[in-house]
Chains A and B, each alone.
Chain A
Amino acid sequence: MKLSLRIWRQPDADTKGEMVPYEIDGVSEDASFLEMLDVLNEHLISEGKDPVAFDHDCREGICGACSLVIDGQAHGPQAATTTCQLHMRKFSDGDSIDIEPWRAGAFPVIKDLVVDRSAFDRIIQAGGYISAPTGTAPDAHAVPIPKQDADAAFNAAACIGCGACVAACPNGSGMLFMAAKVAHLGLTPQGQPERQTRVLGMVAAHDEAGFGGCTNVGECSAACPKEIGLDVIGRLNKDFRKAAIRAA
């Protein structure tokens, strides 16, 4: 198939970027979206031009590295699918496609389609863990966990930290990412002792990193490739209120 692309090009963090048009022909519908960009880059290099920089690694939808806004949608048109798992058969011959990086105040552009998501790591550092130094653990069967709690914890823990939720949110909020971790750990018995300090620490780090506030728009969950539900946000709010009252 033949496609007309417009891709965000920005040489570095300090230089202003722009949308640049490219034409590409002979794209196989079995190719993934990133493989289509690989082909484009091969052409660009052959012409002595700078290839388009984009983050990617596992290309099987689990590492969370890939991060493209495709025609205005984080990870593109297919539900529950990361950019790397999106295939060209979802597009048609002659389509025009706009490709942009995640756009959010807390995710500054590094180059072209590559952004800095280190703010997510800082949120985890502020409490997104259970303190269990190596060697201190009791037998794994010491504390049974009801299956429904374990399953719910897993659903929240499925977050891949890609940041699509932030890119999709009109406020640039990192609420869904943060709430998924708060819910995962809060649903396990092991996560209870730190439940309150965790949520306070993480929310403070979230706000400090420059993410916007949550106004329950729901775009985050709609864009999430792992279909993390909005219910985790309700959980976080509840935990936060409880903790804030206790701390006051």
Chain B
Amino acid sequence: MSTDFYRDGEPVADAKAPTGPIAERWERRRFSGRLVNPANRRKLRVIVVGTGLAGASAAATLGELGYRVANYCFQDSARRAHSIAAQGGINAAKNYRNDGDSVHRLFYDTVKGGDFRSRESNVHRLAEVSTEIIDQCVAQGVPFAREYGGLLDNRSFGGAQVSRTFYARGQTGQQLLLGAYQALQRQVAAGTVDLHTRHEMLELVIVEGKARGIIVRDLVTGEISTELADAVVLATGGYGNVFFLSTNAKGCNVTASWRAHRKGAYFANPCYTQIHPTCIPQSGDHQSKLTLMSESLRNDGRVWVPKKRGDHRHPAEIPEDERDYYLERRYPAFGNLVPRDIASRAAKIVCDEGHGVGPGGLGVYLDFADAIDRLGQKAVEARYGNLFDMYERITGENPYERPMRIYPAVHYTMGGLWVDYDLSSNIPGLFVTGEANFSDHGANRLGASALMQGLSDGYFVLPNTISDYLADGPFEALGEDHEAVVAARKEVDDRIEFFLHNDGDRTVDSFHRELGKIMWEYCGMERSDEGLRKAIGLIRDLKAEFYKRVKVTGKAEQLNQELEKAGRVADFFELGELMCIDALHRTESCGGHFRAESQTEEGEAKRDDEHFSYVAAWEFGEDEPVLHKEALEFEYVKPTQRSYK
């Protein structure tokens, strides 16, 4: 069957989820998976691309197990991967607070929070492993927040009704990443991990259907080289930078994933993006990125806008009865703590209606006046001091005296390369971990769950599942003169040649900015049939212009940051189009994907389980992508309409 912009293909054959009672599945899988004898591990080479939580933890653990690991990152040090910027915390079902938490409750909350678009088996495993992660990190010396008795502190976070979030002030990601980074450096010193910084993966090498290596560019010398191995792990993060403005680091990109996709790896649910409600609003056209203010602020801050449209008075001059605390009004049960997708859209609605504050009316107030009255400024300072300071540095306004202005921004991408239960893509030998895969968060990720998933994949899941594949290795030795290697290198060389010799007149950033605006306008917080069709046309036109007019200065054999950006933006164009096609085909609203045509009478998201209870796994096609559906079954958590009223 052929539909608009895509073709229907065969359903996904096998997601390898084990059967039996859900609480026993992970144990069963670990037992049924084949192992590799310790003496044979050193004969097996594994490439890990990326050094964030999912990459560094996997590389370090595989090194500890005795495999020979080659690890790559584009940053100048493994410690700079963007996991470092995660602020809020990491969930674990420890039930240290005795407040009714359990593995099953974390599992339940995550499936529900994901709006019933994730796999039960995967999510249950994540919840099981969560407790081991905290143990592991504490053993590494991660300085989590503690209470006076010396035990670990927990907080409630991102819409959860139990306190299961472990944190290290507002720098949890930094501390967890440094733990993984240090474990990785220990393996570098031990000689099990060969770490290459300032290298970017530009192509995947596939031989006889198996992923066997990557082509990388040394970002300092420009040298192109080949790394061959028995398996390749992509831990290359999310693709939020397709929007140009996002809370991602400037270097975050989709190239490694997209090159794998072009070689046959399915890309799943690309339209599921998370728009985070508490970011600092854009201040002007020079803006290069958006900064997140931790969601934990919503624990004590109250969100409001003036009831009167276009009210430009100083917030202190707006009396209480002229303020609309719209989250508390619309969602009395959860109030300011509703999940991210709901808080973001509610902010968009009030701003679209003309109640927004600050430049362009794109902002809402996050007010701490009540918290300061109740707890005192000192207590508020102890909780959020570093965040308040950051806000003041960026905006020049003092949030102790004047409410913060916040607005939603792209933060995380739930979609990613399709993986089975073993974290293997549909290309044998290509594994995908962390944000780069799609598997655990469904259509919406809950707060403090990204760090949990990255470390779960890297420390505990992948090292256990990859052995089943590697048990068949080592695979036939390859030379750099193998035709697949030569062909992959040629593709890389041709792309670089093209960019450097294109007789253009527009900068890469100018195209990226324009692409981002299209994506934000039509594939952002609210999507519609009409808008998405328009976006696909606009992206295609802009892409054609990009190839005609893009200008890249400098040479290939040097540090050339424009050349790096050009390749990444070229891939963002193709991804952006697929995101719009995915969003267009999914005519329901679910999680971060809100279709204007599918809402309840009260304006809430309306899911369509009858037609869309599946993972959309897209196969690359030169003319049009092919849709493979993986049906989702819910045996333990029965799908209900999410309600936070």
Say whether A237 faces chain B, with CB atoms less than 8 Å apart: no
Q: Size of chain A's interface in residues, with CB distance under 8 A?
A: 81
Instruction: Provide the residues of chain B in CB contact with A46, threshold 8 Å.
Output: 505, 507, 551
CB closest residue in chain A, given B135: A137
Say whether B500 faces chain A, with CB atoms less than 8 Å apart: no
Given the contacts A31-B286, A38-B288, A53-B559, A140 and B134 also touching, CB distance less than 8 Å: yes
> Per a CB cutoff under 8 Å, which of A28, A34, A139, A140 touches B288?
A34
Q: Is the CB of A48 within 8 A of B553?
A: yes
Q: Is the CB of B459 within 8 A of A11?
A: no
Instruction: Provide the residues of chain A in CB contact with B558, threshold 8 Å.
Output: 11-12, 111
Say whether A245 faces chain B, with CB atoms less than 8 Å apart: no
CB closest residue in chain B, given A43: B507
Smallest Cβ distance from A210 to chain B, in angstroms?
17
Size category of the binding interface on chain B: 35 or more
Given the contacts A35-B288, A137-B132, A124 and B151 also touching, CB distance less than 8 Å: no
Say whether A190 faces chain B, with CB atoms less than 8 Å apart: yes
Smallest Cβ distance from A198 to chain B, in angstroms?
11
Instruction: Provide the residues of chain A in CB contact with B150, threshold 8 Å.
Output: 144-147, 150
Instruction: Provide the residues of chain A in CB contact with B259, threshold 8 Å.
Output: none
Instruction: Provide the residues of chain B in CB contact with A146, threshold 8 Å.
Output: 146, 150
Q: Is the CB of A63 within 8 A of B84?
A: yes
Instruction: Provide the residues of chain A in CB contact with B57, threshold 8 Å.
Output: 134
Say whether A106 faces chain B, with CB atoms less than 8 Å apart: no
Smallest Cβ distance from A70 to chain B, in angstroms?
15
Say whether A217 faces chain B, with CB atoms less than 8 Å apart: no
> Per a CB cutoff under 8 Å, which of B78, B85, B152, B168 touches A62?
B85
CB closest residue in chain B, given A186: B141
CB closest residue in chain B, given A131: B186
Given the contacts A125-B189, A140-B135, A134 and B460 also touching, CB distance less than 8 Å: yes
Chain A 141-173 per-residue mask, 1 if CB under 8 angstroms from chain B, else 0: 101111100110110011011000000000000
List the interface of chain B (C-beta within 8 A of A).
Answer: 57, 60-61, 64, 75-80, 82, 84-85, 94, 96, 132, 134-141, 143-152, 168-169, 171, 174-175, 178, 181-183, 185-186, 188-189, 195, 197, 220, 247, 249-251, 283-284, 286-289, 291-292, 389-390, 393-394, 396, 459-460, 463, 505, 507, 509-510, 551, 553-554, 558-559, 561-562
Known: A31-B283, A57-B75. 10 other contacts (CB 8 A): A45-B562, A51-B561, A58-B249, A61-B393, A65-B80, A128-B182, A129-B182, A133-B61, A133-B64, A151-B143
List the interface of chain A (C-beta within 8 A of B).
Answer: 11-12, 28, 30-32, 34-36, 38-39, 42, 44-46, 48-51, 53, 55-65, 78, 80-81, 85-87, 89, 110-111, 114, 116-118, 120-121, 124-126, 128-141, 143-147, 150-151, 153-154, 157-158, 160-161, 184-185, 188, 190-191
6 contacts between A and B (CB under 8 A): A42-B507, A44-B553, A58-B249, A64-B79, A116-B76, A137-B139
